[in-house]
Amino acid sequence: MKDYFVDLHIHLGRTASGKPVKITASNQLTLEAVLEEAKDRKGLDMVGIIDCHVPEVLVQLRTSLDNGIMKEHSGGGLVFNDLTLILGTEIEIYDENCHGPIHALCYFGTIERMVTFSRWLSARMKNITLSTQRVYEQAVIIQEKVKELDGLFIPAHVFTPFKSLYGKGVMKSLTEVFQLNLIDAIELGLSANTEMAICLSELDCYTFVSNSDAHSVGKIAREYQKIRMLTPSFEELRLALHERKGRGIVANYGLDPHLGKYYNTACEKCFFTVNSTAELSCPNCEHKRFTKGVSTRIREIQDQSATVRKRPPYIHQVPLDFIPGIGPKTLEKLRNTFQTEMNILHEATFDQLTDVVGEKVALLITKARNGELTFHAGGGGKFGKIVSD
């Protein structure tokens, strides 16, 4: 058994020919850029690219196999220079059983199964060439199709205020939309962690995953997990998500929820934090619309304060570009010295860091590693900030 770093939610901004995939993602976020960044700069061992349903992306993946750039893993997934690519798709669900839209992640072990699912989606989706499109089908039927193709189904960023199951403030339970035994894990999202999620008893039976939802190259691995597997493959991932045969998540790494864009309830215009969306207008600018924070929403729907299930630690990882004093040039110096961000975040000693970036920045990196930083909490769509004194 070995531990592997894994980020299962990475978008593509453009195809190889320059056509848009995820409209809100960077034009630089191509398949080649994702693979290079994930392996060479971030130090990941497995990535989930969740726009693999797009026909041109599938053609590119098949061409890479034919040309020997990639190879198929015997346990599922595609291998590129020791990095395993898991084929995924993010879809939007809005059927008569929910007040969506709700996002979900679907993963498959082979190109052939993704092709089959893509063709099935194309009859139920207006534009198969774009990311995260609405599927005009009941959620349970989608789940059943994923399982028919031996895939994995994970509700995405479940507490985010927009396009998530719990976040909109209408639905309170997975049972209102999904068939529970057809869910393989729960993705928490950037403004929630394990401590917050265990307040819902219906989540006790699921593994939690923490992923970047990267819309640009630099955001890859801002959240990730360390997973114990025999080898980085699709079938080993399945075993790990269900904690079978000694496989499982060793640790989740993610933003301290206070750094997330939606931790607090806040004014949509000036981001002033309020205690409740019951406020008639913002005390700061008199704007009349608020975005309900994840912390507020969880307090509304929680039904327990703890869980009997043993959970892996959720380690509050601060992305390097959040740390004051680390700009592009400083980050490049760190990468040149320590090769990957995983090495910077997990392996480099304080003295080694000091030699490269000086004591002040080195201290912030080690404080971030040890969970000793303080923050101004985010809300309303604005990220929180580190208080650096």
Question: Strand 46-49 vs strand 71-72: parallel, antiparallel, or unpaired?
Answer: unpaired
> What pLDDT, on the 0 to 100 scale, is given for residue 122?
96
According to the 3-state scheme, what is the secondary structure of the chain? CEEEEEEEEECCCECCCCCECCCCCCCCCCHHHHHHHHHHHHCCCEEEECECCCHHHHHHHHHHHHCCCCEECCCCCEEECCEEEEEEEEEEECCCCCCCCEEEEEEECCHHHHHHHHHHHHCCCCCCCCCCCEECCCHHHHHHHHHHCCCEEEECCCCCCCCCCCCCCCCCCHHHCCCHHHCCCEECCCCCCHHHHCCCHHHCCCCEECCCCECCHHHCCCCEEEEEECCCCHHHHHHHHCCCCCCEEEEEEECCHHHCCCCECEECCCCCECCCCCCCCCCCCCCCCEECCHHHHHHHHCCCCCCCCCCCCEEECCCHHHCCCCCHHHHHHHHHHHCCHHHHHHCCCHHHHHHHHCHHHHHHHHHHHCCCCEEECCECCECCEEECC
Parts of the chain with a pLDDT under 70: 169-170, 277, 388-389
At residue 375, what are phi and psi to the nearest 5 degrees? -135, 155
Phi/psi of residue 369, each to 5°?
-60, -35
**Other beta carbons less than 10 A from residue 137's beta carbon:** 17
Cβ(298)–Cβ(196) below 8 Å: yes
What is the model's pLDDT at position 161? 87
Task: Give the pLDDT score at 253.
Answer: 92
Report the distance separating Cα 262 and Cα 259, nearest Å: 9
Q: What is the pLDDT of residues 331-384, one digit of tens each?
A: 889 989 998 888 888 889 999 999 999 999 898 888 888 778 778 888 888 888
**Cβ 117 vs Cβ 137: under 8 Å:** no
Contact 105/156 with Cβ under 8 angstroms?
yes
Q: Are 116 and 122 in contact (CB under 8 A)?
A: no
The tally of CA atoms less than 13 A away on the side-chain side of residue 147 is: 13
pLDDT per position as a tens digit, 98-133: 777 899 999 999 999 999 999 999 999 999 999 999
What pLDDT, on the 0 to 100 scale, is given for residue 173?
Answer: 87
Q: Which domains does the chain have, with CATH numbers?
A: 2-255 (3.20.20.140), 321-372 (1.10.150)
Distance CA 153, CA 182 (A): 7
